[in-house]
Amino acid sequence: MKEKFPIRNIPANELPVYEKASLPDEAYLMMLAKTYVEAYGCNILAGYRLPISRLTPGGTFQPNTYSLAGNGYNQEIPVNKVVPAYVYSTSPNDIRTASANDSTTLAQFLIIGKDSNVSGNYLVQSNGMYTFTNGHSYIIGKDYYLGTDGFPTTERPDTNAQKLFSVLDASTIMIDLELLPDKPAQEGKGSC
């Protein structure tokens, strides 16, 4: 006897496109992956529901953005740009603008703006993609390095050349701070 499935097959082009500005926390994606099954001694193609929070923690498009106390940091953050920075001291936080002049002043994160919810705090991100709300003025397809003046530049400095990010499109950068061999590993990050 043949079983009938009560679910109708829906072609992909009939599914609505999700066009809202943020993702719902309870969203998930369907994923197919090869899985080894010991009972049969072979790989099978298995279907899984992948919670969106596994791809974008917090259910947002800015997965790795954190609020950090500035405690006196007063550098102006240019509109639609980022500022490379590091924590000089943690008692209390002493944030300073990074510079390629010295290997001890390299960037640990990028400041992407002031935190509008907490006075004196800054939004920072050290990896992953960041999408500017109103675009940016960086050159698409270029890699940006930490300049001696503390700002991102496409010109790779002769010494302490630290890559900060790559520009993906008119509104998105891929943050990928490189640790240089002469810079100690950041707390919580291992070294190779």
Same domain, 42 and 70: no
- Note down the domain range covering 141: 65-176
Same domain, 160 and 101: yes
Tell me, what's the pLDDT at 163? 92
Same domain, 55 and 80: no
Same domain, 143 and 51: no
Same domain, 76 and 156: yes
Same domain, 89 and 56: no
> Do 121 and 111 contact (CB within 8 A), yes or no?
no
Tell me, what's the pLDDT at 5? 57
Tell me, what's the pLDDT at 93? 79
Reply yes or no on whether the pLDDT at 59 is more than 70.
no
Tell me, what's the pLDDT at 187? 43
* 25-34, 41-50, 144-153, 178-187: least confident range: 178-187
Residue at 127 is within a domain:
yes
Distance CA 139, CA 114 (A): 24
Distance CA 87, CA 95 (A): 5
Q: How many domains does the chain have?
A: 2
Mean pLDDT in residue range 86-100: 86
Per-residue pLDDT reduced to its tens digit, 8-28: 677 778 878 877 766 776 788
Domain closes at, from 34, 60, 86: 60
Of the two residues 59 and 176, the one the predictor is more confident about is 176
| Reported pTM | 0.62
Mean pLDDT in residue range 118-128: 88
Residue at 94 is within a domain:
yes
C-alpha distance from residue 1 to each of 4, 7, 8 (Å): 10, 18, 20
Of residues 151, 141, 144, the one with CA closest to residue 178: 144
Task: Determine the length of the chain.
Answer: 192
Distance CA 101, CA 99 (A): 5
Residue at 86 is within a domain:
yes
